Amino acid sequence: MHLPPTPGKRASLEIYPPVGGANPYLIMSYQPTYRNARNLTGGLTLMMSFADVPKDRVPETRDDPGIYTNAVIYVGFMLYDDYTFAHATSKQERIASLVNALDAVWERYFRWAILAELDSKIEALISAGKTPTGAQISEIYLKLLRDYYGADQPSAVDEVFSAEWTTFSIPFLSYEYQVWPAAMAAAAEMKAKLNSGDVNGSASTELMGRSDNDRTYQLLLPVGIDMAAQAPYQALMRRTNRQLDELERLINTR
């Protein structure tokens, strides 16, 4: 690992798989914050998964495994969030842990589900020869926000958020953000299996380089996780709802 913050080092977390018999490698600018500590835990979880790759195999990392490998990182996030909540020594610490956990789900699941739908609507317009202006995209985005967050009360989402889509750089550069919601859902089902003592929970984080196919769907099927079914997404919703219920209970408790 290389953790010290240094000039020119990006703030993101990067984990590289073993190649040619080398060890996996993690690089990040570590700062003593909740987010950085959780990122490090996720990175270490994936490093342990990479360390289990048989020495004669190089894991496929070109496209689809971005779902599987991010899912393993997110399992580490969930382990960290649950640990900090369980070991919190005050109401304020428990609330902070839940807020951070819920924010991670919004940041990696709900936000990009909305952006994927925005992409779909814009592509449909372009295909029909009706390329939208920036103002029209903002109008579409605002309607999506209100559909998702305030369908019964549109005014709950202020018009100022209509231009928020312009602040997300990744959709302008690639489609990689579309793997993150699926990865978060897969992680939730892995974590649920771990919580229930299901041996497939731990097995699901140790699959890369163990078969001729390193694509997420085929990787996870043998351990009972079907990404084409509802179960992973329902697992994430159950986890999110539990955390929301607990957060509301704490806020309303003196």
Among positive and negative, which fits the CA dihedral 85, 195, 12, 228? negative
CA angle 116/121/127 to nearest 5° reads: 120
- Quote the CA–CA distance of 91 and 43 in Å, as a whole number: 28
- Quote the CA–CA distance of 55 and 20 in Å, as a whole number: 8
pTM over 0.75: yes
Q: Which amino acid is at 89?
A: T
Q: List the pLDDT tens digit at each of the 254 positions of the chain.
A: 999 998 888 878 888 887 777 788 999 999 999 999 999 999 999 999 888 787 777 666 555 667 898 999 999 999 999 999 999 999 999 999 999 999 999 999 989 989 989 999 999 999 999 999 999 999 999 999 999 887 677 678 899 999 999 998 888 888 888 889 999 999 999 999 999 999 888 888 888 877 777 788 888 999 999 999 999 999 999 999 999 999 999 999 88
Q: Which amino acid is at 206?
A: E
- Quote the CA–CA distance of 109 and 126 in Å, as a whole number: 26
Tokens 């078969």 belong to 211
The closest alpha carbon to 190, from 214, 217, 215, 224, belongs to: 224
- The residues with which 189 forms a beta bridge, in sequence order, are none
Phi first, then psi: give them for residue 168, nearest 5 degrees: -95, 105
Residue 39 neighbours by CB under 8 Å, 6+ apart = 13, 28, 77
Please, what are the domains in the chain?
A: 14-251 (1.10.1370.20)
Radius of gyration of the chain (CA): 20
Interval 116-146: pLDDT, tens:
899 999 999 999 999 999 999 999 999 999 9
* DSSP code string of 121-175: HHHHHHHTT-PPPHHHHHHHHHHHHHHHH-TT-GGGS-GGGGGGGGG--HHHH-S
